[in-house]
Structure 1
Amino acid sequence: MNLHLENKLFLVGGATSGLGKAILEQLIAEGAKVIAVARTEQKLENLKATHEKIEVVSGDLSEESVLEKVMSKIGDRILTGAVINSGGPPAMPVLDTKLSDWDDAYRNVVRWKIALTQALLPKMLENNYGRLLYIESVSVKQPVENLVLSNSMRLAVVGYVKTLSQEVGTSGVTFNILGPGYHSTQRMENLFKKNSELKGIPEAEIRSTFAEQTSIGKIGDPKDFASLAVWLLSQHSQYITGQTISVDGGLVKGIMG
């Protein structure tokens, strides 16, 4: 299938690792241009060196100055779509959290996504076209153990995106969420390590336990996740909006998973 993404401009957050990098690589393979955003400047420069269609902005999107740099980089060009993605809050059980952890989680999971959406949306509405794709977590469908901050704050993003999709549904702009389950990323490795420390069980055993929770019995490949993400960023997804789609190998057991 031709996704018709040649020379279209996209913004990808968390672009130097994990699911963000997998999405960026598939966009480039489809001939798109990508503005890559991540915190580590050297990793971005290394990524930029791999392809002439990659531009970079270094920094934390929760900071206003970085958002300003992103908007300056886009300039007067038409932005076809954006992947709103970054790492989540630290793993911890409910009783270990402090109010300051919740404040930080709001800033790191919710607030900056609203700010970025508000910055990108007016021009998309003016062009009557756009694709906004939010990468959250399977935890919005089924809580993940020891991730109370993520389990809670990401649901706020779901409510925001669903409401937005209803309010501007006829605009030609779509808003969707992907909820990744257990994929082979550094984020998951950190979670395996945290669970290993908490339970006194080897990381390999923890990893196997997580894989066994899925219907297909294995941890996901970021490339498979990216294939759906890139399709949702294309014109073919015009009739899908306001959806939260689990990409989890059958992890969520609920009927509406």
Structure 2
Amino acid sequence: MNLHLKDKLFLVGGATSGLGKAITEQLLAENARVIAVARKEGALFQLQNGNDTVEIISGDLAEESTLKKILETIGDRVLTGAVINSGGPPAMPVLETKMSDWDDAYKNVVRWKIELTQALIPKMMKQQYGRLLYIESVSVKQPVENLVLSNAMRLAIVGYVKTLSQEVGRSGVTMNILGPGYHATQRMENLFKKNSELKGVSESSIRATFEGQIAMNRIGDPKDFASLAVWLLSPHSAYISGQTISVDGGLVKGIMG
């Protein structure tokens, strides 16, 4: 299928690792242009590797200075879509959290996404086209053990995106959320380690337990996740907006999963 993304400009957060990297690579394979944002400059240069279809921005998405760089880099160009994505808060159970953890989680999971969205939306509405894709977590459908900060804060984005999609529905701008389940990323390795420490069992045992919760009985491949993400960023997804879609191999047990 031709996704009609050749020379179209996309912004991708968290572009050098995990699911963000897989999406970036898939967009480039479709001959799109990408503004890649990540914290580590070295990883960004590696991703760019002399490719003039990749522009890079080094910075923390939760910081005002990074938002300013993003808007300056886009300038007057037509931005076709944006992948609103970055790492999640640290793994911990509820009673281990402090109020400072909640304040940090709000800043790093919620606030910057709203600020970036509200900076991009007017431009997309004016051009009567845009694709916004938020990478959250399967935890918005089913809580993940020892991830209370993610479980709680990511639901705020679901409410925000659903409301905004109703308000701008006639504009040609669509926005959707993907809720990844357990994929082969560094984030999952960190979660295995945290659970291993808390429960006093090996990481391999924890991994097997996680896999056993999945109907497909395996951890997901980021490339499979990216294939759906890039389709949602394409013109083919024109009648899909305000949706939260699990990509989890059958992890969520609920009927509406």
Distance 1:49 1:120 in 2: 28
The reply on whether 1:252 has 2:233 as its aligned counterpart is no
Indicate the residue corresponding to 1:130 in structure 2.
130
Q: Which runs of 4 or more aligned residues in structure 1 lie more than 6 Å from their structure 2 counterparts after TM superposition?
A: none
TM-score normalised per structure 2:
0.99
Q: Which residue of 2 aligns with 1:184?
A: 184
> C-alpha offsets along residues 45-92 of structure 1, whole Å, 9 cap, x if unaligned?
111116321100000011111100010001110000000000000000
Residue 141 of structure 1 is matched in structure 2 by 141
> What does residue 97 of structure 1 align with?
97
Aligned to 1:34: 34
* Alignment partner, residue 204 of structure 1: 204
Aligned to 2:162: 162
TM-score (structure 1 length as normaliser): 0.99
Q: CA deviation at 1:20?
A: 0.1
Counterpart in the other structure of 2:119: 119
Question: Quick one: which amino acid aligns to residue 30 of structure 2?
Answer: E
The residue aligned with 2:45 is 45
**What's the secondary structure of 1:12's corresponding residue?**
strand
Code of the residue aligned with 1:256 in structure 2: it is M
Q: Distance in 1 between matches of 2:211 and 2:32?
A: 33
Cα RMSD between the aligned structures?
A: 0.6
Identical counterparts, % of pairs? 78
Cα distance in 2, alignment partners of residues 202 and 53 from structure 1:
43
* Alpha-carbon separation, structure 2, partners of 1:52 and 1:200: 48
Q: Distance in 2 between matches of 1:212 and 1:23?
A: 27
Gaps of 5+ in 1: none
> What is the distance in 1 between the residues matched to 2:236 and 2:193?
39
Q: Which amino acid aligns with 2:77?
A: R
Q: Tell me, what secondary structure is at the counterpart of 2:142?
A: coil
Describe the SS at the equivalent of 2:226: helix
* Unmatched segments (≥5 aa) in structure 2: none
Find the residue that maps to 2:253 and give its secondary structure: coil
Answering whether residue 107 of structure 2 is matched by residue 83 of structure 1, we say: no
| CA deviation map 1:165-217 (0-9, x unaligned) | 00110110001000000000000000000000000110011111111101000
C-alpha distance after superposition, 1:133-179 (max 9, x if no partner)? 00000000000000000000000000000000001101100010000
Aligned residues: 257
Partner Cα separation in structure 2 for residue 107 and residue 50 of structure 1: 34
